[in-house]
Amino acid sequence: MAQIATTREQSKKLQELGVTTDTADMFYPLGSSFPEVCDNEDNLQADCPAWSLGALIRLLPDEVRNERFSVTYYLTIDKYGIWYSNHMENEENEYECYGDLFECCIEMIEMLKLNFV
């Protein structure tokens, strides 16, 4: 079955990284192992927030700036991974993750928190 939202473990990791639950667009209802689309009233019965892939991508900035080296890195996403590159002739990928896009989004959020926040 294709993943449609973060797992409970991934959701917990996002919360530990400081991602606010109001950015979640899905939730796990009490006693359920399947995530559902979220609306305002449903949050009252939510056991665990969950983020769709689209919601995770919206958490990633389009660009990040390394002030120390005066370099701007731009977000690129494809079906193989997520990376920030400088779009210069040498096309250096400063931050990259390949594989599962849910895991890559979470890894990028963690990298951003450690390096840019």
Same domain, 46 and 64: no
**Are 75 and 111 members of one domain?**
yes
The number of folded domains in the chain is: 2
Same domain, 48 and 68: no
Q: How far apart are CA 46 and CA 42, in angstroms?
A: 6
Spatial separation of the C-alpha atoms in residues 10 and 103, rounded to whole Å: 8
At residue 109, what is the residue type? I
In this structure, are 43 and 70 located in the same domain? Answer: no
* The predicted structure's pLDDT at residue 94: 78
Whether residues 48 and 64 share a domain: the answer is: no
Summarize pLDDT for 63-106 with one digit per residue, the tens: 999 888 788 899 999 999 999 988 776 666 678 999 999 999 99
- Are 82 and 64 in a shared domain? yes
**Which residues span the domain enclosing 112?**
60-116
- Residue in the structure block whose two tokens are 């390949």: 98
